[in-house]
Structure formats: structure tokens, C-alpha cells
């Protein structure tokens, strides 16, 4: 994994989010929070003070408080215009990580960093170079479920699925099997080479808790991107509503984290079990946020994780969540279907499914990303960030101009910000060969 790069956003596209909300106050007046209401609005002195505060923020990078955020202006045109493919990142498809209580086999894909060994036995990390190509043909991140990858796994984690015609073409690795393809230049497919333990990241797809798939072209790209940053990334499938209501999905995600800490898995994929992070968007953002806030105590045990990055995740599924911006009736029905409830007023599960109510001072660092005018009200993330910071949790909050939802925000700049977050929170040795 490359060392922390400590990149900063381009100054031309970075500004305090509160100044943007002030410009739009006539449209979003009811949604402005205490951070804005306490700001003076009269007098030249107050205007100068606001300008100086913004200047100090950009120049010094001072810590944000409450629900303050940094705002990025999206680049590119259209959804997923910067989606990259990673032909050098091998993927082990359809690995079984468990069996649900209802007998459903639980599957994930493993994306492996491209660590190259030279003839002198030293290593270089090809993940430090993004040689991906742009793909403008990608559809919404999880509006359709992809069933094209047939399950042929026997549970051993060494077989692969029938090739998915919509997924990014890439080589498929079988780390514990000697094949003619394994050479001394491919450390991750040669079991004679012992790799140093690497941090791992669980990637959780979106889809309103009701659809989506780990091998969807967009989420495959996410998995390979995370691996290109030097992590063992696993893209997880979980049981979907309405057939499986809460807490089925989060139960499956917990199981995936515990699977990553299994001794055999740790050895097979050279994982550092103390350093497991989580990434998710939309419904997946809700699930990884819940994963991060559940429980107390050490972050290297059980299903706890050491860092969470989430995009556009709903954080308050209760009736109180109606007060956090304008939630569409359509999405409220999506929540009710996921929760298995007839209405939010009589739905005890809603609170348990809401990360906002589980925050405590033992939670891991968080990265929260949200578009200002997207389908999930930004107030959901603002309230969550404020609660995290109130508990002393190191929290990065980045908002994006416009309506892009979930991983549609992942342009190069946002990917860099998230990569820097994980580099700072999942600190491990530079990947290489054990001497």
C-alpha cells in the first residue's frame, strides 16, 4: 500500500459548505442547522470575519466542528464518467463466507493488490499507479440486480463464477492453487511467496436494501480500486428485502468481517486482522455505518472495524428522520419494506437500524460523503457527523455540489480523499515479501 499522500482538494473546488448553503438559503431555509443560525448576518465586520474564517480553513486545514463539511465540485459529465477499470487487479469470485440462518449461502468476491516481485526478491506496489480506463457505459450503481454471475463455488473459495459479461474483464486468481499462470512476478497467485499482512476493506453495495450485486460493474470497479490502493478488498453480497428484512443484511455483513479474521483466511490472503475497514454507498452506506457504530470496545475483535467510509447513507430510519430534510414518500416505503413494518410510528426495528442512535466514544474514524441536493437528504449525514464529533470521533465530512448519489460521486478527487482517509486510519507495513 502506498504511504499516506496527504493530498488536498484543488483550491478552486474547495470551500466551506456553510457558505454554499447561505447562497441557497431561500430554497433550503428550513433545513439550515444551528451551525448556520449562529452566524452573524449583518455588518461589514461580520462579512470580513466569515471571509477570514474560510481563508484560514483553506490555508491551514483547521479541524471542522459540528456538522461543518468541505464541499467539492464534481468533475466530468454524467454518472460514472470517471469509473475506471483495473485489468491488473486479480479477482477471486464467488467465495463463500458463510451460510445464513435460513440456509442461504453467503458469497463475496476478493480483489487482491497487484504486488510485483522483482528478480532480487524485493517488491514494488503497482497499486500506486492508476492505469484504469474510463467507462462511460456504466449504469446506476445498484438500480438493477445483476444475476449473470452463476454460483459454481463449492465453498472452498478456490473456484470462480461463470464470467459475467457486464463486469470489468480481469484475471481471476486462485491464491492457494499452483497453476501455469503463477509466475515469480505475481506474488498474489504464488503460494511459495509469503506476503506481509495487509489491511482489508469490506465493500458493501447499495440498492435500497432490495437489489444490487457485488459483481455489478460499478461495484466491481470499487473493489478493484480499493485493491489498487494496497488493500485486500472484499465485495460482499447480503440477503435482500423484502424476502429478508432487518437485521438480515447487517447480520451477514458482520459475518463477513468475522470471516476475514478467521486464521485460515488471514493466512490465505495475507491479511492483518487488526486492520479491517469498511466502505459502502447508499443502503451500503447505512450498513457500514451501522457496522462501525455497533458494539463497544476494541476495534480489532469480532465484527468491529477500524475505519468506515460511507457515501449517501441514510442514518435515521425512525419517524424522527422525517425532520431531517425532505424524505420522499417513495423512499419511506423502501425503508418500511426493509424494516418489515407497516408504518414508522410503530416500528421498533427502525431505531436499531439507524446508526445515528448507536454512536459512542469507542467508534472508529469515519469518512462521510454526501451530495447537497441528492435523493437522501443531506441533513441525515449532517446529524450523523455532528453526533460522531460530539463523541470525539475523528470524522471527515465532504459534501458535493449537485445531485450525484453514492458512488456516482467517486471522481478522481473524491477517490483520493477516501484513499488518504484509509491510508491514515489503516496504517500498516508497506506490502512486500516476508524475508
DSSP 300-329: TSTT--SEEEEES-----SGGGGGSS---H
Q: Average pLDDT in the 418-425 region?
A: 97
User: What are the tens digits of pLDDT across the range 357-411?
Assistant: 999 999 999 999 999 999 999 999 999 999 999 999 999 999 999 999 999 999 9
For the chain, what is the mean pLDDT? 75
Determine the pLDDT at residue 179. 30
Cell (9 digits) for 176: 492457494
At 200-235, the pLDDT tens digits run 999 999 999 999 999 999 999 999 999 999 999 999
112-129 pLDDT, tens digit each:
998 644 334 444 444 433
**Which pTM was predicted?**
0.71
Cell of 179: 497453476
Between the alpha carbon of residue 263 and those of residues 138, 154, 172, 259, 318, the distances in Å are 37, 20, 23, 9, 39
Per-residue pLDDT at 427? 84
Residue 122: what pLDDT? 43
DSSP assignment, residue 276? E
Question: In the CATH hierarchy, which fold is given to the domain comprising 91-366+406-425?
Answer: Rossmann fold (3.40.50)
pLDDT (0 to 100) of residue 431: 58
> Where in the chain are the domains?
91-366+406-425
Alpha-carbon span 230 to 228, nearest angstrom = 5
More confident residue, 284 or 8: 284
pLDDT of 123-163, one tens digit each? 444 443 333 333 333 333 333 333 333 333 334 443 333 33
Amino acid at each position: 500500500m502506498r504511504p499516506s499522500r496527504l493530498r488536498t482538494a484543488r483550491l478552486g473546488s474547495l470551500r466551506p459548505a456553510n457558505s454554499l448553503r447561505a447562497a441557497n438559503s431561500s430554497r433550503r431555509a428550513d433545513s439550515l442547522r444551528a451551525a448556520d443560525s449562529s452566524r452573524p448576518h449583518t455588518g461589514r465586520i461580520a462579512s470580513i470575519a466569515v471571509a477570514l474564517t474560510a481563508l484560514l480553513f483553506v490555508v491551514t486545514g483547521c479541524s471542522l466542528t459540528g456538522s461543518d463539511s468541505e464541499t467539492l465540485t464534481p468533475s466530468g459529465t454524467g454518472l460514472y464518467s470517471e469509473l475506471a477499470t483495473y485489468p491488473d487487479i486479480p479477482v477471486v469470485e464467488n467465495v463463500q463466507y458463510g451460510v445464513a440462518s435460513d440456509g442461504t449461502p453467503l458469497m463475496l468476491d476478493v480483489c487482491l493488490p497487484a504486488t510485483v516481485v522483482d528478480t532480487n526478491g524485493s517488491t514494488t506496489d503497482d497499486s500506486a499507479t492508476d492505469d484504469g480506463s474510463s467507462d462511460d457505459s456504466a449504469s446506476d450503481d445498484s438500480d438493477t440486480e445483476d444475476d449473470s454471475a452463476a454460483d459454481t463455488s463449492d465453498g472452498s473459495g478456490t473456484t470462480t463464477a461463470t464470467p459475467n459479461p457486464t463486469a470489468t474483464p480481469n484475471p481471476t486468481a486462485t491464491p492457494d492453487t499452483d497453476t501455469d499462470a503463477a509466475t515469480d512476478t505475481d506474488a498474489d497467485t504464488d503460494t511459495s511467496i509469503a506476503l506481509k499482512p495487509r489491511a482489508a476493506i469490506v465493500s458493501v453495495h447499495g440498492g435500497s436494501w432490495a437489489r444490487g450485486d457485488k459483481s455489478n460493474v460499478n461495484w466491481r470497479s470499487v473493489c478493484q480500486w480499493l485493491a489498487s490502493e494496497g488493500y485486500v478488498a472484499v465485495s460482499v453480497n447480503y440477503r435482500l428485502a423484502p424476502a429478508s428484512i432487518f437485521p438480515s443484511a447487517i447480520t451477514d455483513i458482520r459475518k463477513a468481517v468475522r470471516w476475514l479474521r478467521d486464521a485460515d483466511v488471514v493466512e490465505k490472503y495475507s491479511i492483518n486482522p487488526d486492520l479491517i475497514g469498511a466502505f459502502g454507498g447508499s443502503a451500503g452506506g447505512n450498513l457500514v455505518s451501522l457496522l462501525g457504530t455497533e458494539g463497544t470496545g476494541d476495534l480489532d475483535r469480532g465484527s468491529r472495524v477500524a475505519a468506515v467510509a460511507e457515501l449517501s447513507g441514510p442514518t435515521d430510519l425512525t419517524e424522527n428522520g422525517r425532520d431531517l430534510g425532505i424524505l420522499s414518500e417513495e423512499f419511506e416505503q423502501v425503508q418500511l419494506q426493509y424494516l418489515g413494518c407497516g408504518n414508522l410510528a410503530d416500528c421498533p426495528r427502525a431505531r436499531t437500524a439507524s446508526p445515528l442512535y448507536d454512536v459512542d466514544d469507542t467508534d472508529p474514524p469515519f469518512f462521510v460523503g454526501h451530495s447537497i441536493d441528492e435523493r437522501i437528504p443531506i441533513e441525515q449525514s449532517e446529524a450523523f457527523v455532528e453526533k460522531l464529533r460530539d463523541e470525539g470521533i475523528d470524522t471527515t465530512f465532504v459534501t458535493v455540489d449537485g445531485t450525484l448519489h453514492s458512488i456516482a460521486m467517486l471522481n478522481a478527487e473524491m477517490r483520493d480523499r477516501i484513499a488518504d482517509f484509509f491510508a491514515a486510519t489503516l496504517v500498516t507495513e508497506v506490502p512486500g515479501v516476508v524475508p
